[in-house]
A and B are shown apart, each in its own frame.
Chain A
Amino acid sequence: MASPAANNAPTGAPKEQGKSTSLLQRRIKKFKSLKRGYYSFLIVLGLYAFSFILLFFINNKALVVHYNGEYYFPVFKEYVAAKTLGMTEDGDAPVNFRKLQAKFEQENGDNWLVMPPYPWDPDERDQETKIVDEAGETVNYPYPPSSIHWLGTDPSGRDVFARMAYGFRVSISFALLLTIINYSLGSALGGLMGYYGKKIDLFGQRLLEVWSNIPFFFLVLIVSSIIQPSFIILILLLSLFGWIGMSYLMRGEFLREKAKDYVSAAISLGASDRQIIFKHILPNSLTPIIATLPFAIIGGISTLVGLDYLGFGLQGKLPSWGEMLQIGNDNKEHLWLLLSPIGAMFITLLLMTFIGEALREAFDPKEYSRLR
């Protein structure tokens, strides 16, 4: 059988000489040609990949320590007692590597260590930097931006830049995971209703009507305020309701595709339901998934920010932009506390919007003809 993807190809699409390209290949090529969206995609992808090795760049633990002829790699360890590296006065407390570095430099001996370029942990309170203003008074938290803390610290002395950077990974991972679960659930249930139709569809639609009318954000607030969910639990909680939108789209796709000739052909060839669903219809129904993906991720990021802003999200378990926003809103006189999370969010969401727009253009193009 000919590639089913060619079925809804736009007529008259130019083919390259000698080799035929599939619809998907052509769409990807189109996406790549939309520079703004494509470069945004590369930037986001790069940043997200980078965020997984952030540990080596923004952290308060040394990457390598050379002490008394032995090498240590504390960055991989949860905890290193201060006395093991010769800081006897700190005893069993965790090593302060910035202090250790200063000590090694003072001793000028064989011992050395390599710190990450930005030596602050997102959850660490800065208790060593002392800032004095012009009048000679010590400045309390929050510290304003400086060469030590690029974006200052928050009112509990935690480094804003480090929190912002780690918040990026948390935000994107959260939204990505949420979207994957929502889309899988939505496609499975929507596809089921669309493919089998009849009673399953009727029953499903009734259930959906109830489910979609539940004031779900409110309900998430209530449950979240009681159980104080973890990262995964919060995602599962949100995905209880988040799949509804995709199920409508996929139901529509399946209803439409089911009626097409290539499905009849597959049926008459004796293909099983499973084969038809997964091998024939699904590959042709991916447009709504791909075209809405970036917007779903935007939605996921915004939801997490909103929940954290209200104090009903991750509740301080992980660095998050929403919590930073809430802190910034409570301390309006220190503008950097507000500008940092809003800036980070704005840039991320803007890039996502560019990607989304380009994907839509490539996968679900609308052609407008005008007489004048």
Chain B
Amino acid sequence: MFQYFIRRILLMIPTFIACTIVVFLIIEVTPGGPFDQAIMSAQQQQQVSEAGGSGGGDKGGQQIPEEAKEALKKYFNLDKPLHLRYLYWFGNVMTGDFGESYKYSEPAITVISSRFPVSIYFGVIGFVLGYAVCIPLGLYKAIKHNSVFDISSSLLVFIGYAIPGFAFGALLLAIFGRQLGWFPIGGFRSEGWEYLGTWDKIVDQLHHTVLPIICYMIGSFATLTVIMKNSLMENLGQDYVRTAFAKGLTERRVIFIHALRNSLIPIVTGLGHAFGLLLAGSLLIEKTFGIPGIGMLQYETVLNRDYTVIMALTVIGVTIQLTGNIFSDLLYATVDPRIRFR
């Protein structure tokens, strides 16, 4: 068991390297890649210093002399062959240096870490509320299988399947934000949040939280509820439940003490993967609500072709995913003693 996880952790390394190589290659090979981007950003800086900041460089291709281009190439290691460039990049990453963002002229890691708290805030709340709603709901649906409640709540589940969270978010924003004015139309906090009193800060924050959280929950609502329901239904048909009934235990005790524990297994093992989602945020929902989290940063970096940040996000994303997988296995082995990894 212990050996298995050591092996898994060691296997993370080649997987990690291979993943970054693939992304690195694809980015480098596509036209308009990092080199053009570096030139552009250098031009922009030049123009900014010349023209005092007005009108970023849209047409400045001719202004950079060849020698300067060569110097730039050298500076960004772009005169070296591809594999050496990857090695340079990889070496820097290992020392914690992800390079500087073309767009923000700050270290990429600073740009990313400033966005993380926002995504985690929504991720954690959505996650906790999602489980808090779906587990009891699935449970109750399983116990009252085929009742009016079960069938009518299935309708909600179908709706959850049929409408993507971000589309629902756009609708909520338009109706409750724009038309009725009950909620702010997006953003993480109001402008000037720092100057509010403590109580107002909390109210403002919650005010901005309600609609996005509904969307985060919609995404997992349908799947989670159905998993919970089916899992409990399956367990209720097992022999050990029959034995428990035969012993003369009450239905309440059989369901909540015996069957529930086992039926939570598939839910618990999903936690590991949810962990990844939690940190990565949701690009589409963050874009809809204008929430400046990791998802929004992904969108912006792609728009701006901010390659250093893109690579840094890739590294973080892959690492989170790989740890999430192992975490998920670990949970599986912990909650289900029948599982033995070798």
Contact = CB atoms under 8 A, between A and B. Distances in A.
Contacts of A215: 23, 313-314, 317-318, 321
Interface in A192-247: 209-210, 213-215, 217-219, 221-223, 225-227
Contact of B303 (A210, A225, A352, A370): A225
A349 interface: yes
B284 A309 contact: yes
B171 interface: yes
Nearest to B30: A226
B26 A222 contact: yes
A210 B237 CA distance: 39
Nearest to A348: B162
Interface in B219-236: 230, 233-234, 236
B170 interface: yes
A240 to B, nearest CB: 10
A302 interface: yes
Interface residues of A, number: 44
Interface of A (DSSP majority class): helix
Contact of B233 (A213, A305, A329, A368): A368
Interface stretch (B85-93, B94-102, B173-181, B332-340): B173-181
Interface in A285-321: 298, 302, 305-306, 309-310, 312
B131 interface: no
Contact of B167 (A221, A305, A312): A305
B341 interface: no
Contact of B31 (A226, A298, A333, A371): A226
A213 B321 contact: yes
A5 B22 CA distance: 42
A223 B31 CA distance: 10
Contact of B164 (A306, A312, A368, A369): A306
B170 A338 contact: yes
B303 A368 contact: no
Interface of B (DSSP majority class): helix
A148 interface: no
B26 A353 contact: no
Interface string B18-30: 1100110011001
B309 to A, nearest CB: 11
Nearest to B321: A213
Nearest to A357: B158
Q: Which of A227, A332, A345, A354 lies at the interface centre, i.e. has the most chain B CB atoms within 10 A of its CB?
A: A332
Given A214-B23, A225-B302, A366-B230, A335 B179 contact: yes
Given A305-B167, A310-B299, A332-B173, A368 B158 contact: no
Contacts of B230: 366
Given A218-B313, A226-B32, A329-B288, A213 B322 contact: yes
Nearest to A225: B302
Contacts of B113: none
B163 A349 contact: yes
Closest 6 CB pairs of A and B: A349-B162, A332-B178, A350-B162, A210-B18, A332-B174, A215-B317
Given A209-B15, A215-B321, A218-B302, 18 more contacts: A210-B15, A210-B22, A213-B318, A215-B23, A217-B283, A219-B26, A222-B30, A223-B26, A298-B162, A310-B284, A310-B299, A333-B178, A342-B167, A342-B168, A345-B163, A345-B164, A370-B237, A371-B236
20 contacts: A209-B15, A210-B15, A213-B318, A213-B322, A213-B325, A215-B321, A221-B302, A222-B302, A310-B299, A312-B302, A328-B170, A329-B170, A333-B178, A335-B174, A338-B170, A339-B171, A350-B162, A366-B234, A370-B233, A370-B236
Interface of A: 209-210, 213-215, 217-219, 221-223, 225-227, 298, 302, 305-306, 309-310, 312, 325, 328-329, 332-333, 335, 338-339, 341-342, 345-346, 349-350, 352-354, 366, 368-372
